[in-house]
């Protein structure tokens, strides 16, 4: 609202400024729904889970039972007379076999990192089994004519034949046979299957080579919870067996996904490993549960608030993990400024065995306009909401994370001015959100979110003046739909320099209530402008940053330069009497910020200082004073944020 409009409102009768005041107050309602900024969140500590299973035995004797119960056959050795040509002199000589070490009998690799964020690490490579002793030398030079396979179910013979076809026509010797066998083993590993390939005793005279494959079968899961962290350990057991059915061939991707779901359970630490089953050829999963972080949260202080309700804000959030032993969470979040108090409480727990979570939440807020230009209006009002939500993990892989969330909310708003109710209405919204992140490699990460909202604004309980004003102008009452999405790309050029570009957009099918609009100004928008500047039913925002990592006294600092650009369409339909001729415009700015993090035994503290300067003019400013909608004109804007996560 412009200064000239506010001046007229103070002189007008209440019925004349009702709509203008209501519109201003409703715009402020968006402030109370602000969550704690993403940059203020604490880090996640990595925790690796491990699969263990044995490599090929060093000798041709049968493998011991502890070798994941995938029993290999004996070493491939030609029978009698048709001789095998000796290994060429140019071939590398095999290293002498060292004395057996019991600790060498297992190969380990991590299933996944426990951190739910994108992991910029390549898939683990399993250590190659020790080289076999060379085959006995004999006369003759038979060549490989054909490979055949026995025991393979996961991978077809045609696929395996393509893997080893490059060895066809090569003179048979130890190195070639070992390489062909390892090529099969590597194929199973890359496809995420637990299996063991080797060559049994056979006659290689005719050049036909048989590779024996033992694919591990899943016998079930066992949960070890010695300290009783979970009331129902069946949750963990059923989660594993839901992803990896009992009596099926082991799929390491399924085990990996189950491990991902389990490690995300709040308040506990979980480690999933594989060990030999009771019968030959079987493998079982063991999930070990221990105590995790019971309470976590953060507190922060920033200057991101709106001037009308106080720019200085104090924020806090606390989460109680696993309070009832059900892998549940209870959390409370609060925001306070000079003219606003907001609180949100929520509770969630797991549903089913695929990582789904269901939750309930409620919010309550109260605002009072405190800036000098609004103080005489005594504008204030409460708002509240109640909601339910359901989150579904769609993908939990090393390179990709994806989730789907559904939420339904009921909202109530009331706005008062000059000791009279100016508006009082309700709203409902059904929201579907698809979010995810993808790592192309260790240097590039893409993240994004698409959100569709279908809602209703009900003015039936509001004042007659508000209903009449809305129906003759913007017509926000009734059903509405909007689509909002954002996508960002971060690219690490080297260990110290990275680039970031992000895009946000919102589309709507009609004019939106102020609580649903897209705003350009603020710390999360065009940073050179005040919070809630330039709101519209439709909008776009582009941000580009160059970040430089610095180290000082064992603390990590980041210096960044940025450019912000955004545009809005105030009304989707602007063809009503008295509509402003300025319905579309853009804002832009640039600046720098400096931030850092300080870890300690009590958590991690982060800070950020921001300087920004506007590019060009604000088309939506007051035509007389040039002031922004909050009544100020700040060309060089400074902001800060302090956060401590525990």
Reported as a single tens digit per residue, the pLDDT across 388-409 is 999 999 998 888 999 999 999 9
Percent of the chain scored above 90 by pLDDT? 75
Q: Is pLDDT larger for residue 70 or for residue 421?
A: 421
What number of other Cβ atoms are within 10 A of residue 227's Cβ? 9
Q: What is the CATH number of domain 46-87+107-293?
A: 3.10.20.310
Answer yes or no: is pLDDT of 203 > 50: yes
> Rounded mean pLDDT of 72-84?
37
For helices 157-164 and 174-190, give the axis angle rounded to 10 degrees: 130
For residues 462 and 440, give the distance between their C-alpha atoms in angstroms, rounded to a whole number: 52
Tokens matching residue 377: 């209006």
For the chain, give the longest Cα–Cα distance: 114
Chain mean pLDDT for the chain: 83
> Rounded mean pLDDT of 588-598?
97
Beta bridge partners of 402: 395, 436
Q: Where in the chain is the domain with CATH 3.10.20.310?
A: 46-87+107-293
> Rounded mean pLDDT of 314-332?
98
Answer yes or no: is pLDDT of 118 > 80: no
Provide the whole-model pTM. 0.77
Answer yes or no: is pLDDT of 192 > 80: yes
Q: Is pLDDT larger for residue 558 or for residue 98?
A: 558
- Token pair 């192309």: residue: 440
User: pLDDT-based confidence at 141, cuts 50/70/90?
Assistant: confident
Beta bridge partners of 205: none
CB–CB of 217/245 below 8 Å?
A: no
For residues 326 and 466, give the distance between their C-alpha atoms in angstroms, rounded to a whole number: 47
Least confident of 77-91, 92-106, 240-254: 77-91
For domain 3-37+304-645, which CATH number applies: 2.60.120.10, 1.10.357.10, 1.10.510.10, 2.40.160.50? Answer: 2.40.160.50
> Rounded mean pLDDT of 4-18?
38
Beta bridge partners of 618: none
CB half-sphere exposure, 224, CA atoms < 13 A: 7
DSSP 334-370: EEEETTEEEEEEEEEEEETTTTEEEEEEEEEEEEE--
Question: What H or E segment, with its residue span, contains residue 552?
Answer: strand 538-552
Beta bridge partners of 417: 420
Answer yes or no: is pLDDT of 478 > 90: yes
CB–CB of 574/583 below 8 Å?
A: yes
Tokens matching residue 428: 């409902």
CB–CB of 408/427 below 8 Å?
A: no
CB–CB of 427/411 below 8 Å?
A: yes
> Rounded mean pLDDT of 61-71?
37
Answer yes or no: is pLDDT of 342 > 60: yes
**Alpha helix segments (H runs only) across 119-173:** 157-164
> Rounded mean pLDDT of 422-441?
96
Residue 218's pLDDT is 97
> Rounded mean pLDDT of 73-87?
37
Residue 140's pLDDT is 66
Residue 75's pLDDT is 40
Residue 70's pLDDT is 41
What 8-state DSSP symbol labels residue 95?
P
Strand, helix or coil at 197?
A: strand
For residues 329 and 322, give the distance between their C-alpha atoms in angstroms, rounded to a whole number: 6
Residue 198's pLDDT is 94
Question: What H or E segment, with its residue span, contains residue 372?
Answer: helix 372-375
Q: Is pLDDT larger for residue 77 or for residue 295?
A: 295
User: pLDDT-based confidence at 14, cuts 50/70/90?
Assistant: very low
Beta bridge partners of 203: none
Answer yes or no: is pLDDT of 166 > 70: yes
Answer yes or no: is pLDDT of 191 > 80: yes
Residue 397's pLDDT is 86
Answer yes or no: is pLDDT of 8 > 70: no
Answer yes or no: is pLDDT of 477 > 80: yes
Residue 92's pLDDT is 42
DSSP 213-233: EEE-EEEEEEEE-TT---S-T
Strand, helix or coil at 297?
A: strand
Residue 89's pLDDT is 39
> Rounded mean pLDDT of 209-225?
96
Give per-residue pLDDT as tens, 374-385.
Answer: 889 999 999 999
Answer yes or no: is pLDDT of 602 > 50: yes
Residue 373's pLDDT is 85
DSSP 25-52: HHHHHHHHTPPPPGGGSPP----EEEEE
Percent of the chain scored above 70 by pLDDT? 78
Question: Nearest Cα to 264, choosing from 447, 396, 405?
Answer: 396
Q: To the nearest 10°, the Cα dihedral for 140, 146, 149, 153?
A: 170
Q: How far is CA 409 from CA 359, 361, 362, 414, 506, in A?
A: 12, 9, 9, 17, 20
> Rounded mean pLDDT of 2-27?
39
DSSP 441-464: ETTEEEEEEEEEEEEEEE-TTS-H
> Rounded mean pLDDT of 525-529?
98
Q: Is pLDDT larger for residue 539 or for residue 43?
A: 539
Residue 1's pLDDT is 41
Query: What burial class does residue 132 get, using C-beta atoms within 10 Å of its C-beta: 0-12 exposed, 13-18 middle, 19+ buried?
Result: buried
For residues 178 and 87, give the distance between their C-alpha atoms in angstroms, rounded to a whole number: 12
Answer yes or no: is pLDDT of 451 > 50: yes
Answer yes or no: is pLDDT of 555 > 90: no
Q: Where in the chain is the domain with CATH 2.40.160.50?
A: 3-37+304-645
> Rounded mean pLDDT of 212-232?
95
Give per-residue pLDDT as tens, 265-315.
Answer: 999 999 999 999 999 889 999 999 999 999 999 999 999 999 999 999 999
**Alpha helix segments (H runs only) across 125-202:** 157-164, 174-190
Question: What H or E segment, with its residue span, contains residue 275?
Answer: strand 268-276
Answer yes or no: is pLDDT of 53 > 80: no
Q: What share of the chain is helix, strand, coil (3-state, %, to 5)?
A: 15, 45, 40
Q: Is pLDDT larger for residue 348 or for residue 104?
A: 348
Residue 440's pLDDT is 82
């Amino acid at each position: 609202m412009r200064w000239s409009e506010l001046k007229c409102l103070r002189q007008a009768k209440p019925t004349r400024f009702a709509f203008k005041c209501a519109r201003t107050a409703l715009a402020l309602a968006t402030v109370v729904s602000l969550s704690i900024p993403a940059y203020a969140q604490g880090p996640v500590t990595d925790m690796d889970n491990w699969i263990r299973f044995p490599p090929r035995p060093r000798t041709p004797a049968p493998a011991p039972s502890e070798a994941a119960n995938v029993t290999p056959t004996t070493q491939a050795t030609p029978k009698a007379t048709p001789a095998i040509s000796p290994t060429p002199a140019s071939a590398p000589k095999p290293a002498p076999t060292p004395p057996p070490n019991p600790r060498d009998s297992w190969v380990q690799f991590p299933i996944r990192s426990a951190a739910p964020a994108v992991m910029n690490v390549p898939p683990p490579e399993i250590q190659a089994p020790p080289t076999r002793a060379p085959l006995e030398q004999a006369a003759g030079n038979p060549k490989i004519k054909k490979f055949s396979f026995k025991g393979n179910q996961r991978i077809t013979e045609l696929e395996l034949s393509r893997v080893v076809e490059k060895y066809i026509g090569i003179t048979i010797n130890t190195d070639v046979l070992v390489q062909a066998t390892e090529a099969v083993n590597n194929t199973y590993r890359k496809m995420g299957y637990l299996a063991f390939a080797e060559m049994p005793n056979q006659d290689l005279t005719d050049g036909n080579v048989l590779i024996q494959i033992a694919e591990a079968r899943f016998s079930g899961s066992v949960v070890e919870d010695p300290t009783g962290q979970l009331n129902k350990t069946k949750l963990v057991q059923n989660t594993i067996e839901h992803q990896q059915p009992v009596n099926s061939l082991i799929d390491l991707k399924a085990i990996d996904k189950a491990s991902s779901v389990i490690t995300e359970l709040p308040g506990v630490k979980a480690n999933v490993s594989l060990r030999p089953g009771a019968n030959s050829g079987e493998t079982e999963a063991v999930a070990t549960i221990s105590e995790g972080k019971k309470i976590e949260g953060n507190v922060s202080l920033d200057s991101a608030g709106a001037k009308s309700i106080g720019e200085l804000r104090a924020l806090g959030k606390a989460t109680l993990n696993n309070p009832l032993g059900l892998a549940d969470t209870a959390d409370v979040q609060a925001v306070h400024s000079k003219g606003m108090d907001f609180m949100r409480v929520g509770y969630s727990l797991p549903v089913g065995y695929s990582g789904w979570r269901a939750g309930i939440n409620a919010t309550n807020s109260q605002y009072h306009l405190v800036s000098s230009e609004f103080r005489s209006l005594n504008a204030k009002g409460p708002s509240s909401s109640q909601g339910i939500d359901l989150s579904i993990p769609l993908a939990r892989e090393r390179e990709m994370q994806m989730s789907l969330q559904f939420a339904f909310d009921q909202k109530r708003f009331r706005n008062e001015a000059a000791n009279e109710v100016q508006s009082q209405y309700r709203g409902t919204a059904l929201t579907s959100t698809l979010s995810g992140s993808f790592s192309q490699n260790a240097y590039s990460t893409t993240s994004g979110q698409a959100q569709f909202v279908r809602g209703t604004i009900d003015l039936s309980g509001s004042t007659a003046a508000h209903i009449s004003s809305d129906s003759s102008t913007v017509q926000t009452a009734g059903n509405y739909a909007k689509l909002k999405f954002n996508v960002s790309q971060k690219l690490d050029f080297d260990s110290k320099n990275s680039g970031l570009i992000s895009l946000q957009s919102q589309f709507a099918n009609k004019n939106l209530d102020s609580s649903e609009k897209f705003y350009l100004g603020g710390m999360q928008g065009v940073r050179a402008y005040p919070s809630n500047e330039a709101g519209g039913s439709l909008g776009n925002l582009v941000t580009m940053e160059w970040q430089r990592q610095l180290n000082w006294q064992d603390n990590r600092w980041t210096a960044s330069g940025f450019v912000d650009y955004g545009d809005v369409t105030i009304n989707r339909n602007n063809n009503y009497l008295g509509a402003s001729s300025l319905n579309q415009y853009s804002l832009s700015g640039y600046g720098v910020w400096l931030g850092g993090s300080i870890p300690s035994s009590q958590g991690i503290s982060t800070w950020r200082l921001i300087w920004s300067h506007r590019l060009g003019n604000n088309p939506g400013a007051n035509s007389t004073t040039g002031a922004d909608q909050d009544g100020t004109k700040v060309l060089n804007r400074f902001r800060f944020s302090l956060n401590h996560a525990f």
